[in-house]
Amino acid sequence: MSRNYTELKKLKTFEERYEYLRLNGAVGADTFGFDRYLNQKFYRSPEWKKARRDVIIRDEGRDLGIEGYELQNGIYVHHMNPLTPDALLHAEDWIIDPEYLICVSFDTHNAIHYGDASLLPKKPTERFMNDHCPWLQA
């Protein structure tokens, strides 16, 4: 399955977008192992930094690009399709193409990878006048 931004933006809710991206991996599962140097080099490259900046601007710094989920404590730019050592070695175009990238929080990133929805941000409680003073409610 190849996930992309064009399909993702058709999904209107945070929960739908999470389900579209969820990978259900295992904590501690090897991704790069001894090839970790490859992704470390990639994430320091000018090409990645430009792609990252472009995606943050496009998504307006919002978790999964959803209004009301503005990111306050750091922005991760997530590859919608898992990055592999082979993709980096062959410098495949999709690894810096915004069509395959999305802004997420640290917790949303982990929820996507490990399928743990309990990590997802909770919607703020909707407040109304005098909700803190039940005796004043009409």
Question: What pLDDT digit, counting tens, does each position of 73-124 carry?
Answer: 899 999 999 888 888 989 899 999 999 999 999 999 999 998 889 999 887 6
Q: What is the pLDDT of residue 56?
A: 98
Rounded Cα–Cα distance for residues 61 and 55 (Å): 8
CB of 77 closer than 8 Å to CB of 53: no
The residue ranges of every structural domain in the chain are: 5-136
pTM of the model: 0.82
Going by C-beta distance under 8 Å and a sequence separation of 6 or more, which residues neighbour residue 99? Answer: 4, 5, 6
For residue 31, the model assigns a pLDDT of: 60
Outline where DSSP puts E strands in 14-138: 76-79, 101-104
